[in-house]
Amino acid sequence: MPDAVANLVAQRCAAQLLSGSQAVAPVDVVSRLLAVQGQDARGARLAIRARTAGLTAADVDRALTEDRSLLITWLNRGTLHLVAAADYWWLQLLTTPPMEAATSRRLAQEGVADDEADKAVGLIDAALTADGPLTRSQLGEVIAAAGIRTEGQAIVHILARASIRGLIIRGPMVGRQHAFVRVADWLGRPPARFEPMRFDRDVALAELTRRFLAGHAPASERDLAKWAGLPLRDARRGLTAIASELKERDDGLAELKTSTWFQTAELPPPLLLGSFDPLLHGWVDRKPVLGAATGIVTVNGLFRPFALVDGRAAALWSLAAGRVELSEFAPLAVEVGAALRAEADDVIRFLDI
């Protein structure tokens, strides 16, 4: 790997908490990264494992259920994301408006008319008010009983519509299932500044940019726009708003002046990263990490678990019968293999399987 690319990857790994100081609690990881892709439950939890020491998946579930410090909902690119409850209000108002039309199109493709979808949202609200928290399958039964289609991806996009409108989120764990709750019941009323009529979009764009760079710098305006699912003009507006907080770089990428750890950033030790790990999100170009590796990001949009060695993807890995199985792209050094076996043991410990 050329020195310039290695330095870039080292800096991004430091921003991502994969090297240098680790976080203490699940909410610390999520707050640093601002939003962790969350449609794969195990992957989201493993993202926290890789950035902390000694925690377990049960600690993440506790943050979702007891502390209420974390939640999952549709944000950013129209995808489920794990976020800190404290960041929910402004991210929801800022990133969800573009999703409404896309959700309507997908519902139509699934055979659900707009009026039926709106009726289903009302049924979800009533069911959660009376009997919440409820799982996806339980809400699907309520909607299906009213004669509204839930087959295929219909139920997903109905739930997305209710979430995009700020009515529901995925909050507590009910057994091994992640249940939905009403936002008002789980989080209470939003702070006054986050009520829709008082919401300052420019302030939110500045905060988005600042927080994105804290966990993803060095990055470009196009990286920010892609990650947030917002127009390029919004990314530029956010960067302009915090221009005085940015450090000048020869490569033209954006970095916060407060990101002092970049000066001594080193590549992380060998790591096992889970599905949809944040290291593969946030930047238009994934080549600095993936190199020539194929199969990690599939044609149908899956991001498979992989081993990171010297800042590059070095293997795929999977869980089978409670064991980690590694598929190396090329033979690994003995010491690297030993480090990855220790990582495998820690994955099993973290997941408690």
Tens of pLDDT, residue by residue over 145-177, are 999 999 999 999 999 999 999 999 999 999 989
**Peptide bond connecting 133 to the previous residue in cis, omega within 30 degrees of 0:** yes
Q: Which residue has the tokens 């293997």?
A: 315
pLDDT of res. 21: 86
Q: How confident is the model at residue 63 (pLDDT cuts 50, 70, 90)?
A: very high
Three-state SS string over 149-180 comes to: CCCCCHHHHHHHHHHHCCCEEEEEEECCEEEE
| Average of per-residue pLDDT values in the chain | 95
Tens digit of each residue's pLDDT (9 = 90 or more) over 118-150: 999 999 999 999 999 999 999 999 999 999 999
C-beta of residue 158 within 8 angstroms of C-beta of residue 212: no
pLDDT of res. 259: 86
Query: Phi/psi zone of residue 306: left (φ > 0), alpha (ψ -120 to 50 degrees), beta?
Result: beta
Tens digit of each residue's pLDDT (9 = 90 or more) over 176-221: 899 999 999 999 999 888 888 789 999 999 999 999 999 999 999 9
Residue from 294, 114, 286 nearest 216 by CA: 286
Residue ranges per structural domain of the chain: 3-194, 271-351
**Prediction pTM value:** 0.95
Residue with the bigger pLDDT between 116 and 263: it is 116
pLDDT of res. 213: 98
Alpha-carbon gap, residue 16 to 212, rounded angstroms: 11
The mean pLDDT value for 8-14 works out to 95
Could you tell me the CA-to-CA distances from 152 to 127, 142, 158, 294 in Å, in that order? Answer: 22, 16, 11, 29
pLDDT of res. 324: 97
Residue from 269, 321, 278, 211 nearest 45 by CA: 278
Tens digit of each residue's pLDDT (9 = 90 or more) over 226-242: 999 999 999 999 999 99
